[in-house]
Amino acid sequence: MTAPLPQTQFEPPLCDPHDAACHGFLHSLESGAAVDGPGMRFVFFLSGCQFRCLYCHNPDTWKLHNGRRVSVDDLLGEVGHLARFLKFAGGVTFSGGEPMMQAEFVNATARAIKEKYGLHIALDTQGHLHDRVADDWFDPIDLVMLDIKHIDPARHQALTAQALQPTLDCAERMVRLGKQMRIRYVLVPGWTDAADEIARMADYVAGLGSSVEMVEVLPFHQLGQSKWAQLGMTYHLENTPTPTPDAADAAREIFRARGLAAC
């Protein structure tokens, strides 16, 4: 049975996307990430996000101008000293926040990295803003890591403060464009762990066909709770436990039963 929606009083302020290609706003970076795409990744965490996920572990990325202003050349310089290693070991990932909040800047940077260094490029996104860009925006992107927060529209809205359909439209657009995807699903007790809802998600993802190379089931954790307190925001999931290993494995088995690789 699907659990009832937990009650929250969450009214998020939203911000507009940043449309300049010449500069962007960088929250942080990581030069040796192993969980943000295949192999070892150099990850740019861009500022700005229109989602307000109740389990977000980086709420400090929500506001666009909280980030450091950077140019395309700045980010090329960050990657340059590791480019030869990354060419064989992994690549570059644009994450956030939500990188498509800064679509023009991300595209300009991705194209520059691809042209200069020939690196594998991944985009970690919830896809909500995909309809703001043309098909060729995705040309330098080798892998789309698409976060589908929930398969039920009402529960998705309650969890993220945004509609589900744009994310599903993005998934189907990636199929049309022939882009490889990894689907990311955060397992949150009381929110996204009902077996029937996971089964609906698995049925949908299986229907995307060979474009989906993997499903990543990511157990909820409390590592971001202190950031909410520091920002003076109410954290609604303080009493939510981390899923047990058995619960995470059970969720993965539901995806595997549809012929999907799941980790």
Asked, for residue 12, whether it belongs to a domain, the answer is no
Determine the average pLDDT of the residues in 9-21: 63
Residue with tokens 């529960």: 155
Query: Using 50, 70 and 90 to split pLDDT, how confident is the model at 1?
Result: very low
HSE-up (13 A, CA, CB side) for residue 119: 33
Name the average pLDDT for the chain: 92
Q: What is the CATH number of the domain that holds 195?
A: 3.20.20.70
Asked, for residue 261, whether it belongs to a domain, the answer is no
- Mark 76-112 as b/e (b = at least 16 C-beta within 10 Å): bebbeebbeebeeebbbbbbbbbbbbbbbbbbbbbbb
Asked, for residue 90, whether it belongs to a domain, the answer is yes
Q: Is the pTM of this model over 0.85?
A: yes
Q: List pLDDT tens digits, range 62-86.
A: 998 889 999 999 999 999 999 999 9
Query: Using 50, 70 and 90 to split pLDDT, how confident is the model at 12?
Result: very low
Asked, for residue 7, whether it belongs to a domain, the answer is no
Q: List pLDDT tens digits, range 36-71.
A: 999 999 999 999 999 999 999 888 889 988 899 999
pLDDT of residue 11: 46
Phi, psi angle pair for 133, to nearest 5°: -125, 155
Phi, psi angle pair for 89, to nearest 5°: -95, -20
The number of domains in the chain is: 1
Alpha-carbon distance of 38 to 28, in angstroms, equals: 20
Cross-strand pairs, 90: 40
Inform me whether the pLDDT recorded for 13 exceeds 90.
no
Determine the average pLDDT of the residues in 118-138: 97
227 is in which domain, residue-wise?
A: 23-256
Asked, for residue 40, whether it belongs to a domain, the answer is yes
Tell me the two tokens of residue 104.
């023009």
Asked, for residue 17, whether it belongs to a domain, the answer is no
Q: Which of 49, 163, 27, 43 is nearest to 98 (CA)?
A: 49
pLDDT of residue 231: 87
Angle of helix 245-256 versus helix 195-206 axis, rounded to 10: 40
Asked, for residue 262, whether it belongs to a domain, the answer is no
Kind and range of the H or E run holding 181: strand 180-187
pLDDT of residue 97: 92
Asked, for residue 175, whether it belongs to a domain, the answer is yes
Q: List pLDDT tens digits, range 131-155.
A: 999 999 999 999 999 999 999 999 9
